[in-house]
Structures are given as structure tokens and as C-alpha cells.
Structure 1
């Protein structure tokens, strides 16, 4: 049962929010976590190394899909912010996305056999566009619920910690399952590593599609009872394209939003690059076994707990901006450190090197998760700032705008990864034993300075964000006075 609202929450008009609602809201992120993990970590290696499609064509298909997807974000956000329905502004989109998204995800991992590279390219691109668009119909309205459900400065960090925790653990669960159970089950006399057996991805597809469908329904049904308490849409009016563009720019016009938007652009390129090459580096640079990779991915469960617990603590003690910058610097400098140590000969090719990489990854990913939570909470705090200035609640458009930025350029990270693979000389379909040491070293040498430069530039841009705890409270007080005046 939901706990009764506090007096402060009642004064702000917050709905009663207890553990049932919080868990349901957070669990919805499993859907995006599973999809993101699959697209980021498996899709490139599946289509290029297993199916045999040129890695540059795979990168191009993913990039094109991201561009189409990015265009849908502001459209869905504006639609959701202004929707009048008996199920509110968010839930109709959530329910409508569940089944078609699960079915499309099942299909992308089961491409037809015997097709040409051109036909496979269009199969991959079309389904990637469809999946990403359908995920937008769920993710943008669902994420927009956070600033509607909670308006307190620190409580938002706690709520978004749950969402981030479930997103990371849900997606990571599939990676662990793949390396610990599914890949080993598909080792054959001809295929010594089940990671390169296409049948293993069929099993993955059915499990992942089921998780996506379940998570979306849990999020919708678990928060459904709060629909009467959520913020209402603006009065019905003729929404011309000119009006929508003008209102969008009015809403987003602030230095703090520009900082988050710019950081999202750079971070998305870096994330796309890091995710696309993660299993390549584990497999070809470090030459870890499937069991070792399973242990590495299992460590993310611990990392998610670290990040989820650390973010609210950092928010309370340091504030969101200062905490995000300090945590981010530690995380992103540490991310390529093991690779640099190996290239410099400091971290030798010895059994204990795996445990060093495991420990470093566990801590580093925990800090990255903490950073993501703080930045998402910083974005939520822009909602009230914009409402004070414009008189409109536009939760979805803020999250859609940064999502738009990320999707527009994440594909650049994947494309960059595909060119680094080609520049290193890694051939499609090559097993780790067939790859010379100089090829794997080049892959690490190209990756480490590139990712570090992207992360550090992102942190510089983020430093221009300005909203502090005192500013957020002032905005809440102004809005409370307005509501009392109207009532």
C-alpha cells in the first residue's frame, strides 16, 4: 500500500506515493534496459560477426534508425504533454506500445537466412526504426511521470535511482544470462563459442521480448491509480506547427537546459562508442572467456546498487551539479584506465589481470550509474523553472529533448566504433584465436584516447548548469503561491 503523503507534499499537490508505486515506476525501466543493452552490446556483433553483414552497413543501419527515432521524440512528447483522455496524458501511450514493441524485438533477432547484404541491411534498418519508435511511445511518457509524481529536490533523485537501478539490472540480467547460460548451451563441434551461434540469439529474443512486454504493463498498471492526481494538460487549443515550435523553444530556453543538452550530445556519442566496443574489447583485446565476461556483466548488479544508493546521498550532501561533476570525473577518467595500463605494459597478460579489470569495472560502472541518476534529476528540476517562466507544465518535452540529442548522435558512436574495428584490421566473423595480437592492441589504442576525450568534453559542458537546491525550492514556492491564488 502507498504511504500517506507528507504535509509538504500535500502543500505542493504531490500525489501519495509509496513503495508499490515507486517499484512499479522503476520496474518499467527494465523494458528500455533490455532493449538498450541488446542494441548497444549485441546488435553490432550479432549482425557483423554472426550473420556476416559488413560492420559498416550495420553501423549505418543503426545510425539511420536513430535519426528517425530522434525525430519521433519531440512529436510524442508534445502529443503526450497536451493529450486529453480519461487515462491522463501518459498511460494511453504506455499501454499502446507493449505488444507491438515485444513482437518487433523478437523479429529483429531472427533475420531471414539466405538474403543478400542489401536485403539484410533494409531488414535491420526497418525493424530498428520500428523498435525505437515504439520504445519512444513508452519511454518518453513513462519518464515524464517522475517530475509529476515527486517534486522534492532529493526525493526525485531517490525515485530516479529506482528507475535507473531497474534499467541497468534488467538489461544486465540478459547479458549475464547470455554469457553464463545461453552461449555455453550453444557450443557445437563446429562453433567453439556459442556467442557466434545464431540460434543462441533466437532464445535471447524470446526471453527479452517477454521481459519488455511485462515491464511496460507493470509500469502502466502500477501507476494507473495515480492518474487523477497527476498534473492536468493545458486547455484544449488549436495546436499549429508554428505554435508548437514557439512553445517548445520558450520551454527549453535556459542556460541550464543548454548545458544538459550539450552534455547529452557528447555523452551519447561516447556511450554509443563504449557500448558497441565493450564485448569486442572483452573478446578480442582482453581475450576473456564467456565465463569471465559473464562475471564482468554480473558485477553490474553490484554496481547498480552502489550507484542507486550513492546518488541520493550525493544529492543531499553536495547538491546535484557538484556531485555529478565530481563523480563523473572519477568515473570517466577511470573507464579506459585498465586498457591504457595494458597498452603501457603495466597490466600484464596474467590471470590476476582479470580480477583487476573486474574490480575496476564494478566501481567505475557504479559511479557512472550515480552520475546518470544525478543528471536525470537535474533535468527534472528544469520542469518547475520553465513552469514559472511560461505557466505550462511540459515534463515530456524536457526528457524528449535530451533523448532526441542522444539518439541523433548515439549512432555516430556506433558508426565510429565500426570504423575503429575496420581501422584496427579486425575481420568479420573472426574468432579470438584467429586475431593477431597487434590487431587487438590497435583496437585498444584507438579506443582509449577517443573515449576519454569525449567524456572530458562532456563534463566541461555540464559545468554550465546553474540550478541549485535553493533555486528549485524558490520555484516550488512561487508555483505554490500561484496555485493558492487561482484556487
Structure 2
């Protein structure tokens, strides 16, 4: 592998592209597939997510600790990613390949088992891929640059996973759609892994014992404030992604899948140039101030979704939401890397896996908040499923895509104010560099 491709932010970002295409298709359409199309009740869907979250509280830190502890000649993270790749393909296809005629409690059990398997394998991938970022890129400037490139790839993935999906499942079915995305995952993740070279020094350090690793993580105040704030904003990401198909149908009253795809594209295409603007904001204001500003702007940007009507209004509101989304996608990576750097100064060890895993659990718990919001608001307005939408589904999904996100983002902003700027921003910026072999 030529040196210029080794640990390049561009080739590393292919991993984000690989995972986010199927993940976005899942997060945006699993509710639509199981609840609206197959008729699974919202209450049962929420119960399945709750059961999974209990397991996720265990498996996230467990896989993070095991990843930090791994010692091989190929590194700590790559063996886990290579092993998880075929399992991810199988479980993702399983999610969208419900046997014909499955209904009632059988459908619930299929959803629950598929969800548990798929999300567990996803955890292995996200923990290890995410743990590579702070190891490969050191310093705020290179992290901001790498994060911006990564988020451009993420937005491309969001666009594909959101806007292309309705066309694929309408013409070929959900099962064939999942196979196409599984193949894309394998190709792009393989490109990423071929160019990653882990830092040998990290594998020479003796890992902390399990109890000590948990103790050091739990007492890190900055880590918890940072990730709890992010978790509320991540709930908004989940709500926007999963509610957009319902919003397009019941609020904007779009009739064709082509119109739905155009609306979805308006949200995510606009984010790509806006990522560059937020990269400039990070460089000018610094990590923590840019991060706070992103929460505030994201909250304001979802307000137009309440007032939008028709395809034209939906596109305008989608572009507005895209501006806020871009800020939240770019800004957290700089601060999360700094938190891990400070932990290394205290413990003498790089523990990206544990921090990425626990952060992943906190932010992924947003999926439960999102599911609970869907259930509570749905019950309030009488929405049960696509077969029983109730008397006022339009108002239900206006609340879920605008009012609830606005409130959650204000909570994120308030929590971000508690985090002291001096605790995360170094007095002298470290040399920006990325590691290569």
C-alpha cells in the first residue's frame, strides 16, 4: 500500500460510508417496514428496543474492554472488524427478510431476535472503527479535518440509505434492498481496512484490569457530560431519520416514492457543503464553543418542519434541518478525541475502545428515547400502526419531527454549558499529525 493512502483521512472515511449506508437504511425504515408495512404494534416494537437496550448496557463496555485488551500482530481493532464483517451482512439481511405470512407474536419474535443479533454485531464494528479515530489522528486541526471528511462520506451514505431506499424496496422488495446494501458495506469496509495501520506502541502497553478500567471511565466527569449532551441530540438524529417516511406520507402528503426520495435528498444533499462551513467554525471558535453552537443552531433549524406543506415546503424545511445536522455531525469528534488524550495523560494507556464503547452505549440509548417518544406521542394521537393510524396521524408526526427534537436539543445545549471550556481545550495546541507506517 502506497504511503500516501496509509491512514489517510480519505480512505479511513470509507469505513463510515460502508457502515452508514445499511445503518441509515435500517434506522430510517425498520419502523416503516415492521410497523407501517407488516403491522407490528408500536408497543411491541418499543418493547423489543427496550429489551435490546438492557443487553446493550452490557455488550458495549464488554466489547470495548476486550478490544483494548486485544494484542495481535495486526493490531487491536482490525481483527475484530474483519471477524464481524460477514456476521453484519447476514444479520442485516435477516432484519429485512421476514418470511411471508409472519404476523402477531411471531413477527415480534422475529424482530426481537434479528434486532439483538444485528445490533450486537454493529456494536463490534462501531466500537473498533470509532476507536481507531483518536489513535490515528492527534491534534485538533487534523481531527477537525478528518472529521469533516468523514462526515461528508457519512452524508453521502445518509443520502443513499434514505433517498435511494424507497426506490429499491418499491421495485425489488426489502430483502433485495438489504442485499444490495450488504454488498456495498463489504466493498467499502475492505477499502478502509486495507489502508489502516495501527500504532504499534498502543499494543505494547499493558491494559488496565477490568475493574480499574470501569472505575477510571466512570469518574471522568467531562466524558459523561459530553456524551449525555450528545445522546439527546443523537435522539433527534434518530427521530428525523425514522420519522421522515411517516412525515412525508401523513404531513406533506407525498404520494409517490419518487417524491419521498426527492424530499429525503433535500435534507442530506444540503449537508455536504454545510459540513465545510462547520469545519471553518470549529477552526475559528475551537471545539467546545463550536459544539455548543451546533446544538443551538440544530434546535432552531427543526422549527420550519412544523410549518412545511407539500413537496416544496418540505424541501425548504429539509435544507434548514440539514444546516443544524451538519454542525452536530462535525463538532463532537474533536472533543471526544481530546477526552481520550486527557485519559492517556492520567492512566498512561490509550483506551479508545472502552471510551468509544461506553460513549456508544450512551448515545445509542437515544434509540430507546426515540422509540419511547414514538410510542407516547403515537398513543396520544391514536396512532397504532399503518393498519390503524388513528384520527390524527398528521399532528402526531409533526410533534415527532419538530417539537420533540426542539426540546431535546435545548436540553443538549443546557448540558453543554455545564462543561467547562478550560477542562478540554489545551493551553497550547498539540502538533497536528496522523500516524502512518
Normalising by the residue count of structure 1, what TM-score does the alignment of the two structures yield?
Answer: 0.81
Q: 5+ unaligned residues in a row in structure 1: which ranges? A: 4-16, 186-198, 343-348, 478-487
Match of 1:455 in 2: 409
Q: Could you give the per-residue CA deviations for residues 425-450 of structure 1, whole angstroms, max 9, x where no partner exists? A: 2353349xx976x4413442465332
The structure 1 residue matched to 2:273, chosen from 297, 302, 306, is 306
Q: Could you give the per-residue CA deviations for residues 237-259 of structure 1, whole angstroms, max 9, x where no partner exists? A: 7x7xxx32322332453332122
Change (3 A) 1:22 1:371: same
Looking at structure 1, the residues matched to 30 and 187 of structure 2 have their Cα atoms a distance apart, in angstroms, of: 22
The structure 2 residue matched to 1:279, chosen from 230, 245, 260, is 245
Alpha-carbon contact 2:63-2:127 (below 8 Å) kept: yes
For residue 83 of structure 1, report the CA deviation from its aligned partner. 1.2
Superposition map of 1:169-318 within 5 A: 169-179=156-166, 181-182=167-168, 185=171, 200-223=173-196, 226-227=197-198, 229-233=199-203, 235-236=205-206, 243-251=209-217, 253-289=219-255, 290-318=257-285
Change (3 A) 1:473 1:29: farther
Aligned length: 430
Q: Could you give the per-residue CA deviations for residues 266-323 of structure 1, whole angstroms, max 9, x where no partner exists? A: 2344333333322111111111232222112223453332243123211111111111
Alpha-carbon contact 1:157-1:311 (below 8 Å) kept: no
Q: Could you give the per-residue CA deviations for residues 357-378 of structure 1, whole angstroms, max 9, x where no partner exists? A: 3133224223312222211221
Give the 3-state SS of the residue equivalent to 1:232 in structure 2: helix
Q: Could you give the per-residue CA deviations for residues 378-404 of structure 1, whole angstroms, max 9, x where no partner exists? A: 111111111112211111222222111
Looking at structure 2, the residues matched to 447 and 364 of structure 1 have their Cα atoms a distance apart, in angstroms, of: 10
For residue 55 of structure 1, report the CA deviation from its aligned partner. 2.1
Alpha-carbon contact 2:14-2:192 (below 8 Å) kept: yes
The structure 2 residue matched to 1:89, chosen from 57, 62, 76, is 76
Normalising by the residue count of structure 2, what TM-score does the alignment of the two structures yield?
Answer: 0.89
Looking at structure 2, the residues matched to 301 and 272 of structure 1 have their Cα atoms a distance apart, in angstroms, of: 14
The structure 2 residue matched to 1:159, chosen from 139, 146, 150, is 146
Looking at structure 1, the residues matched to 254 and 109 of structure 2 have their Cα atoms a distance apart, in angstroms, of: 33
For residue 169 of structure 1, report the CA deviation from its aligned partner. 1.5
Give the 3-state SS of the residue equivalent to 1:463 in structure 2: helix
Looking at structure 1, the residues matched to 54 and 364 of structure 2 have their Cα atoms a distance apart, in angstroms, of: 7
Alpha-carbon contact 1:148-1:230 (below 8 Å) kept: no
The structure 2 residue matched to 1:66, chosen from 20, 29, 53, is 53
Higher relative contact order (CA 8 A, sep 6+): 2
Superposition map of 1:87-126 within 5 A: 87-126=74-113
For residue 172 of structure 1, report the CA deviation from its aligned partner. 2.2
Greater C-alpha Rg: 1
Question: Over aligned residue pairs, what C-alpha RMSD do you find?
Answer: 2.7
